[in-house]
Amino acid sequence: MSRKSLTFRTLLFAIAALAFAFTQANAQCKPPAKQQPPLSPAEQASVNLNGKSVTIDYCAPSLRGRKVGEQIAPYGKVWRTGANTATTLHTEASLRIGDQVVPAGTYTLYTLPSAQGWKLIVNKQTGQWGTVYDQSKDLGRIPMSNGPAPTAPIETFKIDFEHTRGNKTELHLLWGNTDVHVPVTATD
């Protein structure tokens, strides 16, 4: 097979993979047929650490008059960390999230919100609806730090990577008056 043919096939494969990933990310948050626009649209947070991709796909709910810790993401209860289908972490690199070692792979992210501080839950079960949680599949529960409260309440839930340098970043969850974060380091 010629080099030109191999390059063309690689390009076609990459385009197909991107199209599939985009379709899947949007399908997971697809609203019922009569609901336009979606109440919790598909979102993605991504970062490259040492040339390896770390991606979180989630559906972003809005407050719509509700309060974090009460009517939505209630304190003391495991929360799906988004809406609709489970929030998915895919990492090409092995990571250390807080003190938790997370091998390269795909995981579901949940959180345990609390007035005293949130915990990020990395769970090995994948592909399920967001409310289907099996604690026996937890890889670990990681304490998150409270950041400064946003200057104005954040209406739509957001996952973001901030302060990225080399193999290190911070994973932030922002919503309402909440900004919680945890350090993330690529270990390979």
Q: pLDDT by residue (tens digit) across 5-64?
A: 545 554 444 444 444 444 444 445 655 556 567 788 999 999 999 999 999 999 999 998
If pLDDT is split at 50, 70 and 90, which confidence band does 71 have? confident
Tens digits of residue pLDDT in 132-184:
899 999 999 999 999 988 899 999 999 999 999 999 999 999 999 999 999 99
Question: What per-residue confidence (pLDDT) applies to 70?
Answer: 83
Question: What per-residue confidence (pLDDT) applies to 72?
Answer: 84
Q: How many domains does the chain have?
A: 1
Q: What is the mean pLDDT of the chain?
A: 85
Domain that includes residue 43, residue range? 3-186
If pLDDT is split at 50, 70 and 90, which confidence band does 130 have? confident
Q: Which distant-in-sequence residues (6+ apart) come within 8 Å of 105 by Cβ?
A: 90, 91
